Structure 1
Amino acid sequence: MKERLWKNVWVVLYVVLMGVLAIATFLEHAYGTTFVQTHIYHACWFCGLWGALAFGLVRACGKCRLWKRLPVLWWHGSLLVILGGAMLTYLTGEKGYVHLVQGQEVKSFIRTSDQQTRMLPFSLSLDSFRVVYYPGTEAPSDYKSYVSYKVNGKWKEEVISMNHILSVEGYRFYQSSYDPDL
């Protein structure tokens, strides 16, 4: 009976988490990324929800003797690795933004936490920008920034879009928005 109660608690936690993530998606569209990061993703209660789910995964691995069922153990273990990576990034990562203007070389970024300017170990430049729309609508389906970056004196070209992140020297660049004049 007690095990069934624990299982129900973890299922409810999982469903609540999925509901919160779904609501966060709509709130981000309505109020912006900063609002959702401040009130949901970086809130103590949200981290606690993830922590409770991680605790449940560890408990399930031990109580249910999942080492005897290797595929199930791998599945639970992979979720723990993902949660661990997310927590490590949250605790050690530096969040900021770069505003790229076509033809201007950028060598710094602005930290989100204190609005301080920090230098990048390379330079970044916007070559061109394009918005791809859903057919027959004015709703954007993708934003594409064609950028160049200079590392160790050599220029390289890359595309940053909604689903393609640029990683350079340990920094990750996401396409999050664009200016009205494109």
Structure 2
Amino acid sequence: MANPSVKTVTIYLIEDDASQRDSIESLLVYKGYIVKSYSAANNFLKNAHFERPAIVISDIRLPDISGVELHHALIEKNINIPIIFISGEASIQQSVDAMKQGAIEFLVKPFEIDELINAITKAIHIELKEINLNLLIENLSPRELEVYKLLLKGHNNQELIDKLHLSLPTVKQYKSEVMRKLNVKSLSRLIELAK
């Protein structure tokens, strides 16, 4: 997939209140987004094909499992897509739990349309950055991938030499290839890219 655009992002909407779901879906479709709606978390987990790029907008209170439990289920399936939570009566603890787990935003109903669009824009930016990084990482050889992961952990040249049993010129060559293939000029930019 070459450089996906904002409008090719699929938005998975999980909301049990039919009128809220229809209202949000209509707004997003009007704005040009691809939207797939579900009334319950388990329906979504069973039926979604998780086309990437994608983001999830989920109510916290759902008839089967909570939005936070849904997010946890996605993480366990190694589906790391940005999630925005919406809720009618969210407790402070729920929002703290959601944000700790990596939610992009937590919106309390009734929210402004602009708040939702801003959260979606932020989530899409994160999703596209992740997908582009994954496409670049696919170009790394197994050894370059190993070097990349060690660089992200903050390993210096000597530590790379010790861990990988390579000479200094070889380590420098691998670092240089990793930076070239990921299109970064500095180690700090490499680390920033992976955040």
Q: TM > 0.5 between the two? A: no
The structure with the greater share of residues assigned to helix is: 2
The structure with the greater share of residues assigned to strand is: 1
- Given the two structures, how large is their TM-score scaled by the length of structure 2? 0.30
Q: Which one has a bigger Cα radius of gyration?
A: 1
Structure scoring higher RCO (CA < 8 A, sep ≥ 6) equals 2
- Given the two structures, how large is their TM-score scaled by the length of structure 1? 0.31
